[in-house]
Structure formats: C-alpha cells, structure tokens
C-alpha cells in the first residue's frame, strides 16, 4: 500500500501540492487525472526522492510503502528506487544496445550473477513485447514506442513493488496504446501501477481506481476518488465534471457544466469557463 500523508511539495518557490493525502492499494492500477501543471509528475518524482537531486524541489510530509516511511533517513535512496520504479514521460536511451540498457541497472545495483542478470533482462524485454530482433541493436536507434517499452523493461527487470508511469501513452499510435494497456494490466496483477495520463479512454480501460487532482490557489489536492465508472461517468465534483465532459464531448459539454451559459457559443464559453476556474479557484472540498 502506498500512502501519502499531509504532503507539502514546493517547486521553484511555488506550492504545488498542499495537505495532500492519498492511499493506494498494494496491487492494481491507480490512475491519476488532473489538469496540466497540477503536480502529478512532481508527486511521482517526490516518491522516488528526486528532491534530493533538485534543490528547486522541496518535499515535506510522509510517503509510506506498506507502512515503511520512504523518506526516512534509515531508508536509502537506492532501496527506495529499487522498490519503486518510475517510467518517465520522455525516456532516453542509454549508450549501448537494447539488452545492455536493461542489464545496466541490474549490473550496478544488484549482486546477481551475470547469467541471472541476462535472464532477467531477456525476460523483461519479452514481457514488454520488444521483439528479439532489436535486442542487440543500439538503443538510440529504437523508435519512440520501442523506447517507451525499453524504459519499462529497464524498470520491470528490477521487479519493483510499485511502478509509476508518467503519461505512458503519450505519442503512441492506437495499436501501441492497446498493447501498452494490456501490459499495464498484466504488470498490475502483482504490483501497484500508478499511471498519470490525460487519456480518459485509456483510464477507463485500465484503471481499478481513479483519483482526480485539482489545483487550488494554495496547492493541488485530490478532490475525487473512486472506481472509473463513477469518477469518469458520473463525477460528483464540478471540477471533475468539467474535466471529464471536456474530454468526452469537447467544448460543447461545457454548456451543461455552468448554469447560465446555455445560450453561449462553445468557442466563447470554453475560455470563459476555464478562465473562471483558473482565476477563481474552487474552495477546498
């Protein structure tokens, strides 16, 4: 179980997350939704203690994995990163072949025998569906979709308890997205997979639970959580309603959200409504 308690995160002098509480199960897929810039990526970076590398990022509060405080001094950063894998939005290839990319972290963070490292790397590459033809190819020659799967294989090979995936479907074609969704579902059978995405269709297909984050004036918080069919179909909060209806139906949906704007043309209403929400933040739930 991954639990955030009273988290306060500041980046570049701005409060990004405040009074942030969230509890995620030990297994399954949890999807985090919310407008751009509301701190979803920062939340993931906080989990793996990237604030220790970034002086502009300040994290306070508690993040626990199965009861163990991930931010405790006694817990080394390497241990945290072995338990929790982060797949970035824009992965980069390490120098070397695809296979070497996957064995790299195993070689330098574990004391496994060479044969075992090779076996785990090959198993991870097979699991993410990277065809054997590219295993010996220079990783920098891989396509964008292959690179995403390579980044996933690099992390999966370490067998983490939690996988954090930042906009994994970004830039992938529909078939690649479907393959990715199947993979996420499979990976989530044995661990927690946290997915940040703006793709609500994907969220509906893979999520066991959905958490909707909203940026209030004093920081971002979770405003609504629940099963995908509830949060994505019949959201309770106006912010969630606005977000999901904009995703499902486009600008036209905004009529239904804001009373008194029924007569307004969609093109006019969209910026008005969005400006309203940006400039006059909702009250804390």
Partner 1 sequence: MRLASQLASGILIAFVALLTLDLFVRGAPEWSAGYLFAPVREGGTDGGIGPIVFSTLFVTFLATAIALPFALGAAILSNEILMHSPRLAGAILRSFETLASAPSVALGLVGWTLFGRIFGLGFSLLSGGLTLAIMLVPILAVAFHAGLAAVPRALRAQSQALGVSRWTTLVRLVIPAAWPALFAGLVLALGRATAETAVLMLTSGISTRMPQDAFDPGATLAVHVYQLARNVPGGEPRAYAAACALLVINVAVHLSLARLRKEPA
Q: Which residues bind partner 1 (CB under 8 A)?
A: 48, 50, 53-55, 77-79, 81-82, 85-86, 88, 90-92, 94-95, 104-105, 108-109, 151, 154-155, 158
Q: How far is the CB of 284 from partner 1 (least distance, A)?
A: 32
Task: Give the Cα separation of 224 and 238 in Å (integer).
Answer: 10
Please say which residue, 155 or 240, places its beta carbon nearer to partner 1.
155
Task: Give the Cα separation of 39 and 53 in Å (integer).
Answer: 18
The answer to whether the beta carbons of residues 156 and 103 sit under 8 Å apart is no
Q: How far is the CB of 282 from partner 1 (least distance, A)?
A: 33
Please say which residue, 158 or 210, places its beta carbon nearer to partner 1.
158
Q: How far is the CB of 88 from partner 1 (least distance, A)?
A: 6
Long-range Cβ pairs for the range 110-118 (8 Å, 24+): 110/158
> 212: which residues sit within 8 A by CB, 6+ positions away?
33, 34, 222, 223, 224, 225, 231, 235, 237, 239, 240, 243
Q: How far is the CB of 242 from partner 1 (least distance, A)?
A: 33
CA quadruple 129, 133, 135, 139: dihedral sign: negative
Please say which residue, 3 or 77, places its beta carbon nearer to partner 1.
77
Please say which residue, 19 or 140, places its beta carbon nearer to partner 1.
140
Please say which residue, 53 or 218, places its beta carbon nearer to partner 1.
53
The answer to whether the beta carbons of residues 168 and 195 sit under 8 Å apart is yes
Alpha-carbon distance values, 41 to 49, 105, 168, 220, 242 (Å): 12, 22, 12, 12, 22
Q: How far is the CB of 78 from partner 1 (least distance, A)?
A: 5
Task: Give the Cα separation of 182 and 201 in Å (integer).
Answer: 14
Please say which residue, 78 or 249, places its beta carbon nearer to partner 1.
78
Please say which residue, 49 or 211, places its beta carbon nearer to partner 1.
49
Give the helix ranges, DSSP H, for 168-260.
Answer: 174-187, 200-206, 228-231, 238-249, 254-257
Q: How far is the CB of 148 from partner 1 (least distance, A)?
A: 12
Task: Give the Cα separation of 124 and 14 in Å (integer).
Answer: 39
The answer to whether the beta carbons of residues 139 and 101 sit under 8 Å apart is yes
51 φ, ψ to 5°? Answer: -60, -20
Q: How far is the CB of 97 from partner 1 (least distance, A)?
A: 12
Q: How far is the CB of 109 from partner 1 (least distance, A)?
A: 4
Please say which residue, 102 or 203, places its beta carbon nearer to partner 1.
102
The answer to whether the beta carbons of residues 157 and 106 sit under 8 Å apart is yes
């Amino acid at each position: 179980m991954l639990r955030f308690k009273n988290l306060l995160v500041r980046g570049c002098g701005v409060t990004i997350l405040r009074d942030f509480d969230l509890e995620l199960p030990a297994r399954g897929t949890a999807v985090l939704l919310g407008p751009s810039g509301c701190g979803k990526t920062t939340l993931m970076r906080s989990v793996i203690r990237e604030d220790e590398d970034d002086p502009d990022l300040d994290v306070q509060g508690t993040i626990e994995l199965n009861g163990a405080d991930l931010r405790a001094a006694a817990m080394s950063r390497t241990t945290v990163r072995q338990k929790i894998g982060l797949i970035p939005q824009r992965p980069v290839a390490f120098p070397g072949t695809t296979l070497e990319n996957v064995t790299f972290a195993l070689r330098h963070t574990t004391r496994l025998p060479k044969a075992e490292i090779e076996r785990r790397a090959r198993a991870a590459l097979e699991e993410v569906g990277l065809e054997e033809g590219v295993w010996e190819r220079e990783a920098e020659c891989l396509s964008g979709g292959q690179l995403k799967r390579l980044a996933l294989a690099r992390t999966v090979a370490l067998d983490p308890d939690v996988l954090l995936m930042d906009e994994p479907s970004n830039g992938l074609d529909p078939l690649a997205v479907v393959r990715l969704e199947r993979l996420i579902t499979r990976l989530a059978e044995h661990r927690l997979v946290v997915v940040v995405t703006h793709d609500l269709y994907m969220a509906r297909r893979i999520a066991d639970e959905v958490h909707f984050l909203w940026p209030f004036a004093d920081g971002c918080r979770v405003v609504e959580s629940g099963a995908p069919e509830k949060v994505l179909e019949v959201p309770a909060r106006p912010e969630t309603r606005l977000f999901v209806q904009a995703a499902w139906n486009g600008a036209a949906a905004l009529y239904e959200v804001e009373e008194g704007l029924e007569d307004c043309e969609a093109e006019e209403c969209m910026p008005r409504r969005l400006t309203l929400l940006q400039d006059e933040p909702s009250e804390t739930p």
